[in-house]
Chains A and B, each alone.
Chain A
């Protein structure tokens, strides 16, 4: 009798082709499972997928809308990836984004006069947003570095604190005549949009993509450079991969934890600033559909590489814009989770190959 025996063998190297096949197969598998679940919820899956591509990608307006959504996701992904490089799990991007938006709104409405020159106003808002995000995340960083408190939980809990903080201001002292939102920002506090230059480029009329997208791309370049070419980037990579090596070569683990968390939070805070200044033009309750959490998924799917994250963030924008009108709600979120889950799970086949060997018993 022939027996089949299998064992695992680590793959030492993978080719680009193998990785592409792997990614495409994983996404296809996730979409297939998603299709079954969609059918179970009474939605025609094929129609839903076609709808997502069409309304999220196949026209100038669609691309503009997608860029609008991708902007905060990309900034949050950059923020998350910086911390993840050092194996610090900043899951609080959402809260940092909210407080960044809060600080930017404070500058625009209360702390600077509305007649402030636009450039100065916008720069101050960016600074305030980044600072608020950095401080929020640094709280978790301090607790992690000096008191060994698990940063996953603290950053998460701060999400809820941040959300209540914003609620307090939009329902209370900053409320516009009792509505759960602030008054609109002065003109100088809003990021320029494509539609604002429609006078000279009529084709751009009605397009809402704003300068935050450029900011996000610049941030990608800066993060990419900082990780690859600076001492700080080198140190956090070493500490992420092997803390012992880092310690023995004299790196200050606590200080780097703090600075990395602060940078991570600053990028997420910046995302909040671009969202209120470029899209909402005011602070309001629940203005973010979870950009901070999506950033975490995008960071991971982009393998923590800034330029890959740009691509993934854009695709997530397509999913958000295209999935917006699909009823019942929750479809984009379900698909995002599913794609990440399947891709993370299927990494196994990139790391190992299954060898099946025939063994013939001697007797």
Chain B
């Protein structure tokens, strides 16, 4: 804890913001893949909760954090499969189905996780990176080299996601399906399969987001512990303009703003923040940031004609009109 508003304060804030933003980053990246293929997924919050609960439960009973991450991702992908069947194959309304999934996921995680609440100790966690030499670097040390492995995984997945989306044939197929499914279909691409796979990847990423919460960033299981981060991810997908690189910026800004009230209260030279009531308004900042980011994002999108994937949210089936 730092004593005044100096460089240390900002280094701590940036480092903590990066960690806090990591679960949202995973969820946003998953959302980008899903939406690029033309399917909206409002159910991320529910998938994250089930992923977090499953991961924590597995890690606790097997004492193996990696296994926990895997089952969390599997749980997210399973929910996503159910979602894909309903919205991709049965062409149900994506907004309502997504909402139903959030309800189902938070109810299910609260039901199955009831025995896990307050069992924080003696559970395997994802460790932090430990590079003894680099840790002592000024600035970069605390910001990058003392971080949890999950933060690094997040950075790697941003690079990986960008590469897949924009540099590989698979990414091209995926985007074609989201922009113009009929043309993709005429090229012999199975639209429904691509969409199903993308929804499941998104679900696995949401599960990973949940697992990184319950096993690394704020270890433990608390009912409803995602506190709306899944919804924030849905917003950040739009802010990021369906682009993994911009998702990193959005997630990091959100994480930093979430962390800010806590850090400001620890600065003795700023007594105004010791008033706990100020905290409520500071805690609104990340959510207001998402709204502000959406306003900026949509203005830019209008001006530069950068929009959502053209058939986002529209079910498609061969032989339908259009």
By a beta-carbon cutoff of 8 Å, the part of chain A in contact with chain B is 8, 37-38, 40-41, 89, 91, 143, 147-150, 152-154, 156-161, 164-165, 167-168, 171-173, 293, 296-297, 300, 327-338, 340-341, 344-348, 351
Contact = CB atoms under 8 A, between A and B. Distances in A.
B153 interface: no
Contacts of B287: 157-158, 160-161
Nearest to A300: B96
Contact of A340 (B103, B235, B277, B291): B103
B288 A296 contact: no
Contacts of B96: 300, 340, 344
Given A149-B298, A153-B291, A293 B103 contact: yes
A334 B91 CA distance: 23
B137 interface: no
Interface of B: 42, 46, 82, 85-86, 90-93, 95-97, 99-112, 114-115, 223, 228, 231-232, 234-235, 238, 276-277, 280-281, 283-284, 287-288, 290-291, 294-295, 298-299, 301-302, 317
B16 to A, nearest CB: 20
A156 B231 contact: yes
24 contacts: A37-B111, A38-B111, A143-B294, A148-B298, A149-B294, A153-B235, A156-B231, A160-B287, A168-B277, A296-B99, A328-B111, A328-B114, A329-B110, A330-B107, A330-B111, A331-B107, A331-B111, A333-B103, A336-B103, A337-B104, A337-B107, A341-B101, A345-B85, A348-B92
A165 B284 CA distance: 8
B99 A168 contact: no
A330 B103 contact: no
Contacts of A159: 228
B92 A157 contact: no
B90 A335 contact: no
Grouping DSSP codes into helix (H, G, I), strand (E, B) and loop, the A interface class, with mixed when no group exceeds half, is: helix
Contacts of A336: 103, 107
B107 A147 contact: no
5 cross-chain pairs, A with B, having the tightest CB-CB distances, nearest first: A334-B107, A337-B103, A337-B104, A330-B110, A328-B114
Nearest to B290: A157
Contacts of A40: 112
B90 A334 contact: no
Given A40-B112, A336-B107, 5 more contacts: A91-B99, A157-B287, A172-B277, A300-B96, A330-B108
A341 B90 contact: no
Contacts of A165: 280, 284
Given A147-B295, A148-B298, A341 B277 contact: no
B288 A333 contact: no
A152 B234 contact: yes
B314 to A, nearest CB: 13
Contact of A297 (B82, B99, B115, B276): B99
A157 B46 CA distance: 16
B280 A168 contact: yes
A147 B298 contact: yes
Contact of A157 (B82, B223, B291): B291
Nearest to A38: B111
Contacts of A147: 295, 298-299
B233 to A, nearest CB: 10
Nearest to B288: A161
Contacts of A335: 107
B90 A346 contact: yes
Nearest to A37: B108
A327 B117 CA distance: 14
A335 B104 CA distance: 7
Nearest to B87: A345
A171 B291 contact: no
Contacts of B91: 348, 351
Nearest to A144: B298
Contacts of B100: 297, 337-338, 340-341, 344
A148 B238 CA distance: 12
A341 B107 CA distance: 13
Nearest to A159: B228
A164 B281 contact: yes
Given A147-B299, A334-B108, A153 B102 contact: no
A300 B103 CA distance: 14
B114 A330 contact: yes
Nearest to B45: A156
A333 B107 contact: yes
A168 B291 contact: no
Nearest to A40: B112
A56 B153 CA distance: 48
Contacts of A150: 235, 238, 294, 298
Nearest to A296: B99
A160 B284 contact: yes
A64 to B, nearest CB: 25
Contacts of A337: 46, 100-108
Nearest to A299: B96
A345 B107 contact: no
Contacts of A296: 99
Contacts of B42: 152
Contacts of B102: 337
A345 B92 contact: yes
Most B CB atoms within 10 A — which of A38, A41, A327, A334?
Answer: A334
